[in-house]
Structure 1
């Protein structure tokens, strides 16, 4: 069932430009008669003339609305200089209302272009259907027609132009909810390594649970890859690394490790490198982003350690990869545990908690309950130390630094961090990143 209608009048034929309110009137009449739900939300995309006054342009639509009181509160005319700007504005309106099923009515010649914009600005959360907008035989009005089945594939250069237009628009947007903030550890020597853990501020993601520096895109969430890419560009600019040589783990909640420069596995939760200028990263939104640095052999690693990965020993698997690939001595490797859900908040079903209890009973609180509290950080530290990492070479602020300057509990600090545990399925993601300086 359609939840919103988008009418694309961005590129009206010249003979219809001067009768735009008449065009809209006929369109609204069609929608009101044919819509599957009463008075859906209607958004109209129009091209804003350079130097044009938005208020006076919008007022020109008032005559078209007089006969459609049921739509008056549900219709918005969006003027913008580019299609990207207009469509992104409409996406914000859809997201505010949690709408996902959209009918797009547009000129036949615009359909293939619009599909490229939609592919870049939306995710699989949204469903689109299309109807064609055709010039009637009298050439004085537009009419809705069944969509033509033939689809054209746009030339590569046209797709590149659209992508560039979107990127330029996103780059022009102001940062939301404060400045971009990077947390750094004093344990990792900054004359050899560039590293940090991100917080949630300083990006352009606007959905509350993703706002604002979300760094992971998923088909199940509303933040598209191109927005995440812009957040990453801003992070790279602030941190001083090249976003084009950035590599993030491909999460599987297991213990596979990717060796940079070798064949990349289909999925992996650890990644290591000794290449300068390559930035590697692990995400976390309750799971621990763990960073590894060997200042002697000049090698580094990153791991994503959720409860499953912790039990499977992903952190030691990353250490072992550094030892076997780069000749690192386990006693030289420094390990920093990033922001993650703390034992204050994190619960697991009893069967899963049993596995942590086997590692150390102190990893579990209220063990006899149906959902005990679990300390995945303590379990990670114990497994690292049993693998030969020196206790003094592990930073976990819940133990080593009462000021908690790195290992915050993500669930306890909604102003600073994303949390799947706290925010539900449409959650944002922060990362830990590291690279070897040139």
Structure 2
């Protein structure tokens, strides 16, 4: 049973001066009857701009709101906007607030492929969808809808993508302004910085608003991450289309740009101009390496496994081997990460850090000692 039911009336002009359309009334009444008890969210999608409501010969239709239909509408939540992207994004927020994932969409047959294209942009594999044809009556007769279009044209898909991007660009920053932390140790010839959790548009409570990692297993879609990245590029001054992030494996593999890219790696090095490389971090440490002499740089993701495996030194060694960097010229900066106050590991794992340097471990005799992975990174 669907947890949320969406009824797409976006392409239908609702006009109170025409005859009652009993089929639509029955459809909405049936939705209420079959889903009201189980579904936690019943919603009607409408267009709020008359310019998007065309004549029936162009595929959009006038539907009357009789007294019965108007009364029934009040039993559904209505989302209305001139933009279909804005409507669906608003609905997605409401669905996410309720932590729902099973969704039924009741949609006119001729709009099904288009609606699916918007859904593909704004939702991830976390959600499951089923579709049902919407039947309406037009001027006393059953509306003969065009058959379903199996494929969307390249131009239509581009229009969908542009509409989604335009809406996301219009959204305000959440949880504060975009902040970029820089280090005075890094030469001005490198654009560099560490982002914080604020200034993006991601609203999922378990993620920062400035989430820069997309996954089909998360509720945050790729287009939202791309918008966060676009804002970062605009603020920092780099081309977001030439942005490369590590493919984390919590190991010590390093990709030297220009060589074949591995399937996974926790470090990147480059001496190419105009590209931006990035390492994700939270508890784990994002590390920046910069050699102003050879004009080469690198980044690494150093979690506790990567720290023990020596990802930081592996990145340094790659810069020395590939670009002829001198150890004395490479500046290394550790970004924000979990501190020794808050990170614990089981005692048998903590023993490896204790062997590096006893100062890396606090309360070693406890079942879950506290680990200073920042200090350990300097020891490896």
Q: Deviations over 1:197-218 (max 9, x none)?
A: 0011111112223242111112
Cα deviation, residue 259, structure 1: 1.1
Give the Cα–Cα distance (whole angstroms) in 2 for the partners of residues 184 and 155 of structure 1.
45
What is the distance in 2 between the residues matched to 1:293 and 1:63? 69
CA 1:187 to 1:30, structure 2 compared with 1: closer, same or farther past 3 Å? same
State the distance in 1 between where 2:276 and 2:351 align: 36
Structure 2: 5+ residue stretches without partners: 53-64
Would you say 1:28 and 2:25 are equivalent positions?
no
Note the C-alpha offset of 1:110.
Answer: 1.3
After TM superposition, the structure 1 = structure 2 runs for residues 176-191 of structure 1, keeping only pairs within 5 Å, are 176-190=174-188
SS at match of 1:194: coil
Q: Is the 8 A contact 2:255 2:261 kept in 1?
A: yes
Counterpart for residue 338 of structure 2: 341
Q: Distance in 2 between matches of 1:170 and 1:375?
A: 39
Name the stretch that deviates more: 202-211 or 77-86: 202-211
Is the 8 Å Cα contact of residues 32 and 38 (structure 1) preserved in structure 2?
no
Task: Pick closer, same or farther for the CA change 1:178–1:125 going to 2, 3 Å.
Answer: same
Q: 3-state DSSP class of the match of 2:172? A: coil
Task: Tell me the SS of whatever aligns to 2:193.
Answer: strand
Aligned twin of 1:155: 153
Shift of 1:135: 3.9
Name the residue aligned to 2:89. Answer: 88
Contact 1:258 1:272 survives alignment (8 Å): yes
Q: Distance in 2 between matches of 1:198 and 1:123?
A: 25
Change (3 A) 1:318 1:362: same
Q: 1:369 to 1:142 in 2, by over 3 A?
A: farther
Give 2:98's aligned residue.
97
RMSD: 2.8
2-structure distance, mates of 1:116, 1:67: 29
Q: 1:62 to 1:350 in 2, by over 3 A?
A: farther
Question: Mean alpha-carbon deviation: is it higher for 109-118 or for 297-306?
Answer: 109-118
Find the aligned partners of 1:135 and 1:16 in 2 and give their Cα distance. 15
In 2, the alpha carbon distance for the partners of 1:17 and 1:125 equals: 42
Residue pairs, 1:279-298, within 5 angstroms: 279-298=276-295
In 1, Cα distance between the equivalents of 2:107 and 2:291? Answer: 57
> Structure 2 matches for 1:349-360, cutoff 5 A?
349-360=346-357
The separation in 2 between residues aligned to 1:245 and 1:374, in whole angstroms, is 36
Match in the other structure for 1:131:
132
1:243 alignment partner in structure 2: 240
- Aligned to 1:193, the other structure's residue is in SS state coil
How big is each residue's C-alpha offset from its partner over 1:235-257, in whole Å with a ceiling of 9 and x where there is no partner?
11011111011110111111111
TM-score, with length taken from structure 1:
0.78
Aligned to 2:56: none
Provide, for residues 323-380 of structure 1, a one-character-per-residue CA deviation record: whole Å limited to 9, x for no partner: 1110001111110100101110001122221211121111111112221111111110
Q: 1:61 to 1:93 in 2, by over 3 A?
A: farther
How far apart, in 2, do the equivalents of 1:17 and 1:238 lie?
52
Matches within 5 A, 1:8-407: 8-12=8-12, 25-35=25-35, 37-38=37-38, 40-50=40-50, 63-64=68-69, 66=71, 72=75, 75-135=76-136, 140=141, 152-190=150-188, 192-383=189-380
* Cross-structure match for 2:57: none
In structure 2, what is the Cα distance between the partners aligned to 1:82 and 1:197?
Answer: 35
Partner residue, 2:3: 3
Looking at structure 1, the residues matched to 291 and 20 of structure 2 have their Cα atoms a distance apart, in angstroms, of 66
Distance 1:43 1:381 in 2: 55
Alignment deviations for residues 305-337 of structure 1 (CA, whole Å, 9 cap, x no partner): 111111111111111110111000111111010
CA drift of 1:108 comes to 1.2
- Ranges in structure 1 where 5+ consecutive residues have no aligned partner: 53-59, 384-438
Higher normalized contact order (CA 8 Å, seq sep 6+, divided by chain length): 1
Partner of 1:401: none
2:26 counterpart SS class: helix
1:175/1:104 CA distance change after superposition, 3 Å: same
TM-score, normalisation: structure 2: 0.89
**Number of residue pairs matched?**
367
- How far the C-alpha of 1:127 sits from its partner, in A, is 1.1
Distance (whole Å) between structure 2 residues aligned to residue 289 and residue 230 of structure 1: 22
